[in-house]
């Protein structure tokens, strides 16, 4: 998902991966690839259809994408802006 495999390049994907591993207990060893694929698919379905999201005004993503009302922003961006160019200059 990222060019260099760094978490700062795609924080949204990293956040979703963390939720799937912790909340849906996917951070474990499965007996087979098919079992793992089944559990991941089931978790993603729950993530999108059952789990309310703060970023979606406490609606599920499926409901949030079908509503015509504007969503209320309920979070603050506390993350510092990641500057890849500046980091490269420091290394050189």
Considering the entire predicted model, what is its pTM?
0.67
pLDDT reading at 82 higher than 70:
no
Closest by CA position to 54, among listed 42, 38, 67, 72: 72
The pLDDT of residue 91: 54
pLDDT reading at 47 higher than 70:
yes
Instruction: Read off the pLDDT of each residue in 70-87 and give the average, rounded to a whole number.
Output: 67
Better-scored residue on pLDDT, 36 or 7: 36
Instruction: Read off the pLDDT of each residue in 67-82 and give the average, rounded to a whole number.
Output: 75
Name the H helices within the chain.
Answer: 11-22, 33-49, 61-66, 84-91
Rounded to whole angstroms, how far apart are CA atoms 20 and 14? Answer: 10
Rounded to whole angstroms, how far apart are CA atoms 25 and 38? Answer: 13
pLDDT reading at 51 higher than 70:
yes
């Amino acid at each position: 998902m990222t060019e260099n495999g760094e978490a700062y390049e795609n924080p949204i994907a990293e956040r979703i991966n963390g939720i799937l591993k912790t909340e849906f207990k996917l951070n474990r060893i499965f007996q087979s690839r098919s079992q793992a694929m089944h559990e991941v698919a089931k978790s993603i379905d729950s993530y999108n259809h059952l789990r309310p999201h703060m970023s979606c005004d406490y609606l599920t993503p499926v409901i949030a994408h079908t509503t015509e009302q504007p969503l209320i922003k309920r979070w603050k961006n506390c993350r510092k802006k990641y500057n890849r160019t500046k980091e490269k200059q420091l290394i050189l």
